[in-house]
Amino acid sequence: MAKTNFQERLVRIKDAVVKEDEGTEEEPVVRKTLWLVLEDVESGAIFQSPLSLDDIQEITGMTRQLQGRELYKFATDLRSRTEPIKLIVDLNNSEISADVIMKEEI
């Protein structure tokens, strides 16, 4: 297993897309996930972060989950952001979990 290498980095949002999973025949529940694609400003490394509606609510501090068009507008607003953001990332892992996004210290 690769060793973790957490560092605070400046990243740009390259893409933010809402993907839907319709579940299974036994459990036909539509689950929406916001997929963020982030790029390290300095190294160009690409990171992905799949965020559930619960994750988004926790990260943003909203009192409720985004619904319908609100989620798609949120994704559009994220794609439109040009300023980089500071984020603690594991340079040895291209997937960033919601827990890592919430991390404030290394």
Instruction: Give the strand order in the sheet containing 31-40.
Output: 46-52, 31-40, 6-21, 85-90
**Tell me: the pLDDT tens digits for 66-103?**
998 999 999 999 999 999 999 988 888 999 989 888 87
**What pTM was computed for the model?**
0.85
Indicate whether 1 pLDDT > 60: no
Single-letter amino acid code for the residue at 62? M
Chain-centre distance for alpha carbon 68: 18
